[in-house]
Amino acid sequence: QVQLVESGGGSVQAGGSLRLSCAASGHTSSTYCVGWFRQAPGKEREGVATIRNDGQVTYADSVKGRFTTSQDNAKNTLYLQMSSLKPEDTAMYYCAASVGWFYSCIDTHWSNYAYWGQGTQVTVSA
């Protein structure tokens, strides 16, 4: 019903910036939470930044002040602007969307998100 495709990943030095994009298609009006998750090798997948359908934006504590997520509804695209990148930000980044409603999009476990992109790798060197 919803297709998501991430782009914009790459390698950058610590302190640098990257912007990730997530192009959505399909029945996107049915989504309640959209956002970004990341997973490093051997680590649990974690929420990074989410937007609820009423506009509520939340961030993981680890990225507050450094990352900004936004959406362009006309283009059906979600963005993650990442600045002041740190080596610990290195991970595969995924965009995701839920069809169920949740009070907190970022606190809801990632398995509650029904739709996922293929992922884009972000590597930050020290």
The tens digit of pLDDT for each residue in 20-76 reads 999 999 988 889 999 999 999 999 999 999 999 999 999 999 999 999 999 998 899
Q: CA–CA separation, 47 vs 58, rounded Å?
A: 10
pLDDT of residue 101: 84
Least confident of 41-50, 79-88, 94-103: 94-103
Q: Using alpha carbons only, how large is the chain's radius of gyration in Å? A: 13
8 A C-beta contact, residue 18 and residue 9:
yes
